[in-house]
Amino acid sequence: MRVKLRAVLRIVVSLSAFLLLGLAASSFAAGTTKSLVGIVGDITCGREHSMMRGMSDAQCTRECVARLGSKYALITEDQVFVLEGHWQEVDQLAGQKAKITGEVEGQKINVSKVEKF
């Protein structure tokens, strides 16, 4: 009886460990949801809006996205993140400080929420 109980217990512990590892791996693969604060710009200009002289940062961002095929970006103190999704809301905050919430995958944010900061 004790032998069977130990065998069952080993199986339960093994399955539990396997499930926990699977959950941990899937959460890393899916990215991490975070809220980041920065300036809404574009990946062509980044921190410097020198492509379109005489325009505001917001105008330059919009022109780079519309005419040059650039992508919207969140520019933080030390990184530039490409923004995916919610483009109309992001566009309204071009050149302004914003709080962007979404799934972060490397240097990309799959946007789920946009707020003026």
Does residue 21 share a domain with residue 51?
no
Sign of CA pseudo-dihedral 40, 45, 49, 51: negative
Does residue 22 share a domain with residue 38?
no
Does residue 66 share a domain with residue 19?
no
Does residue 89 share a domain with residue 37?
yes
Q: How far is CA 53 from CA 49, 65, 87, in A?
A: 8, 16, 24
Does residue 111 share a domain with residue 70?
yes
Does residue 53 share a domain with residue 15?
no
pLDDT band with cut points at 50, 70 and 90 for residue 23 = very low
* Average pLDDT, rounded, for the chain: 81
Does residue 36 share a domain with residue 26?
no
- Domain extent, residue 26, equals 1-30
Distance of CA 74 to the CA centre of its chain: 9
Position 12 scores a pLDDT of 39
Q: How far is CA 55 from CA 24, 43, 50, in A?
A: 47, 17, 9
Instruction: Report whether 47 contacts 41 (CB < 8 A).
Output: yes
**For position 97, which CATH number holds?**
2.40.50.430
pLDDT band with cut points at 50, 70 and 90 for residue 49 = confident
Instruction: Report whether 89 contacts 114 (CB < 8 A).
Output: yes
Does residue 43 share a domain with residue 21?
no
